[in-house]
Amino acid sequence: MRLHPEAAERNERLKGIAPQVLDALSPLGKRAFFPKGIPFQAGQAGGCAINATIGQITDGAGNPIPLAPLAEKLKGLPPKDAFLYSPIQGRERARKAWHAKLVAEDARAASIVLPSVTAGICNALSMAADLFFTPGDTLTIPDLYWDNYEQVFDMRLEGERATYPFYNAEGGFNVEGLRATLAAQKGKVHALLNFPSNPSGYSPTPAELEAIADVLVEAAKDRPVVVYCDDAYHGLVFEPTATPKSLFYSLLNRSENLIPLKCDGITKELSFFGGRVGFLSFGVKAEAAAILVDKAMSLVRATIGSPVGLSQYLMEEELLDPRHNDEFERLRRVMEGRYRKLKAALSAPTPHWTVFPFNAGCFCLIELREGLDAEVVRQALIQDESVGVVSQQGRYLRLAFCSLKEEAIEPLVQAIARVCGKM
């Protein structure tokens, strides 16, 4: 397919700024550019007295004309923020608020440009993959992973997977497994790391996190390494040994061949599951990141049109509220109470399963004993006990303690024991 002149111009600039980033782009990533179409031209005409550019219904002075039932439900919110389009890259106030949050977490984030707004964290991962993952590429990932990665990388992009055991013999993260799996691959590599983990509920220790970063830097010695940091459960840690830091920060400015991509958002961090606001941050030099933001805007324009403005406005208000940090800590303590209750309930010896180490996030993973099929157990739990859990890979049950009252946790574990005992 012929490369559009504007895409070629972006790529030529990227070649001069960060040739390693250009080399790492997928064919789609190289074709991507934000065109000088309607949104671009509407932005340029924003200050005009008469503006006949953007296709949104207004009173002619830039104010929306909402239908009464919607206006009544959203009474108290600024109409422009609630009813009009968001910019393609996201609202400036939202992007600045999230960037400030990242800098507050780790000063190293000050070096990155404002993130792109996405339609949730899954969309951020999908956009990152579109930019860098060429169909047929291999994704390096632990063997315990969120099943939707298969949809993003396998189904959509026809990718392959190279896995390694998540845990080492001591019950910590398998750093050496990551090292060996990366070393076995030739050329550009992709590594995805999700901490705290879904489904295992594990967050590395600070020492493990730095060791992981060192392995990725080592792998990038003479080839591009694209690292997808899925930080969906960031901040939900319950043990002092579990790091609350994102791996992304430890990868910044470590190697020109290393391309860290941070995928995060409001889903868990703001407990705003229906808001569907995510962020994609590019951990490369600012000039190159600005071009990647342009390319990300083209993907947004080509798929969802623009991010949801109303959710961004609500997110901005939450982050700028002086109560936010205390409110998040209140939520974290609720989750910690459930975590400790589940930890206690699973501490009793049993022949039916083994509990994988967990210390963070929303989940716990148990491996059933030989002879038990996780899907059969799951179905029996629904039919016999009115209990719902998730089965994975034939051997594991994932328990989402984030959605349980504390008083339901012991009955959950007892129900699993009864069903396993009957089998």
How confident is the model over 207-249, as pLDDT tens digits?
A: 999 999 999 999 999 999 999 999 999 999 999 999 999 999 9
Residues 404 and 396: beta-carbon distance below 8 Å: no
Q: Determine which helix (DSSP H) or strand (DSSP E) holds 398, and give its type and residue range.
A: strand 396-400
Q: Kindly report, as residue ranges, where domains of CATH 3.90.1150.10 are found in the chain.
A: 325-422
Q: Tell me which residues of the chain have a pLDDT lower than 50.
A: none
Q: For residue 372, give both structure tokens.
A: 């038990």
Residues 346 and 355: beta-carbon distance below 8 Å: yes
Quickly name the fold that domain 325-422 has. Answer: Aspartate Aminotransferase, domain 1 (3.90.1150)
Residue 280 is predicted with a pLDDT of 98
User: Which SS3 state, helix, strand or coil, does residue 180 take?
Assistant: helix
CB 64: neighbour CB atoms within 10 A? 17
Which segments within 160-236 are labelled E, that is strand? 160-164, 189-194, 225-230
Q: Kindly report, as residue ranges, where domains of CATH 3.40.640.10 are found in the chain.
A: 5-34+88-320
d(CA 195, CA 363): 12
Look up the pTM and report it: 0.96
Write the CB contacts of 153 (distance below 8 Å, at least 6 apart in sequence). 129, 133, 139, 159, 161
Residues 165 and 357: beta-carbon distance below 8 Å: no
Exposed/middle/buried for 330, CB within 10 Å: 0-12, 13-18, 19+? exposed
Instruction: Transcribe 223-249 into DSSP letters.
Output: S-EEEEEE-TTTT-B-STTS--S-HHH
- C-alpha distance from residue 269 to each of 121, 134, 142, 360 (Å): 11, 31, 24, 13
**Residue where the block lists tokens 């995805």:** 192
Residue 176 is predicted with a pLDDT of 98
| DSSP single-letter state for residue 323 | T
Write the CB contacts of 97 (distance below 8 Å, at least 6 apart in sequence). 315, 316, 319, 320
To the question of domain 5-34+88-320 being in CATH 3.40.640.10, the answer is yes
d(CA 274, CA 186): 41
| DSSP single-letter state for residue 165 | -
Residues forming a β-bridge with 397: 366, 391
Half-sphere exposure of 381 (CA within 13 A, CB side): 22
Residue 253 is predicted with a pLDDT of 97
